[in-house]
């Protein structure tokens, strides 16, 4: 069988074995190394997609390989009835990088949408009925994350979605102030740079207004940094470009594990810490030692190779 026949055969088997949610795949990929991937025909590509903002260290990075291998040799999964050192270390590291104050805490999930589900549940626990999200938002595909995602084509086929969500125009400070005024809004969800919308950055002025007005009304500011976090903007988290800006909750995933699935929710300060009570949320896989070790390797490499400064350098040129 020629390479081309082999590729055609795989594509046909894909169509017959997988549900059609993603449409026809562009290629069947065989391997990756650094910034390159190879398809099943042996053709090499420069990977500008990086697994949709996931492969923070490129493909097959030795530090990531070694961390995952070493961890898998000792302890891969333990359930959350038990703790593991990598999980604790990763939580501490994320609190440090996010400059979270005393009384902050981390919840681990397996994806961005799961991190946002947890944040949604934190918001519900305030007891307030309304949740605000922005036009052009994307927060994921599970029902709660979908409820705060604006795109009609994603939402409509799955209604009814969890209620109480309203969309306000991204960047419109007056609309924000009006929506918050009654004092019954649990949370505002925002991406500092709206990713799925076509990489639209919220202005620093609007981000500051989000912080000021939510604080004024006792509303949580929940920043979705699933795509913008983990160094992609030259800061650990995109909101750190705005001096002094600190959300009440931040969600992460994508680049966090460098390709190994992991998501995280950071809750800032003692007031948010206990909104989710023991037993009110959970996960089987979230925070397992393997995923935690992968994320620690990603963070360690970004630090050791001074990648934040590099991102800022190449971002300027
Ligand atoms: C990709 C993305 C999500 C969803 O993450 P999944 O891991 O695909 O569930 C949520 N929010 C933002 C901003 C994203 O870019």
The pLDDT tens digits for 102-161 are 999 999 999 999 999 999 999 999 999 999 999 999 999 999 999 999 999 999 999 999
pLDDT score at 8:
85
How many angstroms separate the alpha carbon of residue 87 from the centre of ligand 1? 22
pLDDT score at 241:
97
Establish whether residue 224 lines the binding site of ligand 1, counting it when its CB lies within 6 angstroms of any ligand atom: yes
Residue 45 sits at φ, ψ, to 5 deg, of -130, 150
Q: How far apart are CA 151 and CA 174, in angstroms?
A: 23
Establish whether residue 194 lines the binding site of ligand 1, counting it when its CB lies within 6 angstroms of any ligand atom: no
Residue 215 sits at φ, ψ, to 5 deg, of -65, -45
Contact 72, 289 (CB under 8 A): no
pLDDT score at 3:
78
Going residue by residue through the chain, which has 317 residues, state the pLDDT in tens, using 9 for 90 and above: 787 888 889 989 999 999 999 988 889 999 999 999 999 889 999 999 999 999 999 999 999 999 999 999 999 999 999 999 999 999 999 999 999 999 999 999 999 999 999 999 999 999 999 999 999 999 999 999 999 999 999 999 999 999 999 999 999 999 999 999 999 999 999 999 999 999 999 999 999 999 999 999 999 999 999 999 999 999 999 999 999 999 999 999 999 999 999 999 999 999 999 999 999 999 999 999 999 999 999 999 999 999 999 999 999 97
Q: How far apart are CA 297 and CA 61, in angstroms?
A: 10
Mutate which of 138, 154, 251, 257 for ligand 1 pocket (most atoms within 8 A of beta carbon): 138
How many angstroms separate the alpha carbon of residue 2 from the centre of ligand 1? 38
Establish whether residue 71 lines the binding site of ligand 1, counting it when its CB lies within 6 angstroms of any ligand atom: no
For residue 114, the ligand 1 atom closest to its alpha carbon is: 9
For residue 111, the ligand 1 atom closest to its alpha carbon is: 7
Nearest CA to ligand 1 atom 5: 112
How many angstroms separate the alpha carbon of residue 230 from the centre of ligand 1? 13
Q: Where are the alpha helices (DSSP H) in 43-148?
A: 50-53, 62-74, 85-97, 112-124, 143-147
Contact 139, 116 (CB under 8 A): yes
Contact 170, 136 (CB under 8 A): yes
How many angstroms separate the alpha carbon of residue 9 from the centre of ligand 1? 31
Q: Which of 299, 94, 102, 126 lies closest to 222 in space, CA to CA?
A: 126
Direct distance between the N- and C-terminal alpha carbons of the chain, in angstroms, rounded to an integer: 46
With tokens 């949370």, the residue in question is 187
CA distances from 203 to 144, 171, 192, 207 (A): 26, 7, 8, 6
What element of type H or E holds 250? strand 249-252
Establish whether residue 139 lines the binding site of ligand 1, counting it when its CB lies within 6 angstroms of any ligand atom: yes
Establish whether residue 189 lines the binding site of ligand 1, counting it when its CB lies within 6 angstroms of any ligand atom: no
How many angstroms separate the alpha carbon of residue 114 from the centre of ligand 1? 9
Nearest CA to ligand 1 atom 8: 112
For residue 141, the ligand 1 atom closest to its alpha carbon is: 9
249 Cβ contact list (under 8 Å, min separation 6): 119, 122, 123, 187, 220, 221, 222, 223, 265, 266, 267, 268, 272
Mutate which of 21, 136, 253 for ligand 1 pocket (most atoms within 8 A of beta carbon): 253
């Amino acid at each position: 069988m020629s390479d081309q026949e082999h590729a055609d055969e795989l594509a046909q088997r894909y169509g017959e074995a997988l549900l059609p949610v993603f449409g026809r795949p562009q290629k069947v990929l065989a391997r990756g190394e650094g910034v390159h991937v190879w398809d099943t025909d042996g053709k090499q590509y420069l990977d500008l997609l990086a697994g949709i903002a996931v492969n923070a260290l490129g493909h097959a990075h030795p530090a990531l390989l070694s961390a995952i291998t070493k961890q898998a040799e000792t302890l891969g999964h333990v359930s959350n009835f038990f703790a593991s050192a990598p999980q604790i270390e990763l939580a501490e590291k994320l609190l440090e990088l996010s400059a979270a104050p005393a009384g902050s805490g981390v919840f681990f999930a397996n994806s961005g949408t799961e991190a946002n589900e947890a944040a949604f549940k934190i918001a519900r626990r305030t007891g307030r009925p309304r949740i605000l999200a922005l036009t052009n938002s994307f927060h994921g595909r599970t029902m709660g994350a979908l409820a705060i995602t604006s795109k009609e084509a994603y939402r409509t086929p799955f209604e009814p979605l969890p209620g109480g969500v309203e969309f306000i125009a991204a960047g419109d400070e007056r609309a924000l102030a009006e929506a918050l005024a009654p004092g019954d809004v649990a949370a505002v969800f925002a991406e500092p740079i709206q990713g799925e919308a076509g990489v639209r950055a919220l202005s620093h002025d609007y981000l500051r207004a989000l912080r000021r007005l939510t604080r004024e009304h006792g509303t949580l500011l929940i920043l979705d940094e699933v795509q913008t976090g983990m160094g992609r903007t030259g800061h650990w988290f995109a909101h750190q470009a705005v001096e002094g800006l600190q959300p009440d909750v931040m969600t992460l995933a994508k680049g966090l594990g460098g390709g190994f699935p992991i998501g995280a929710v950071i809750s800032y300060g003692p007031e948010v810490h206990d909104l989710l009570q023991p037993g009110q949320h959970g996960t089987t896989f979230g925070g397992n030692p393997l995923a935690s070790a992968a994320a620690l390797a990603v963070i360690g490499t970004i630090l050791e190779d001074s990648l934040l400064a590099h991102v800022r350098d190449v971002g300027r040129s």
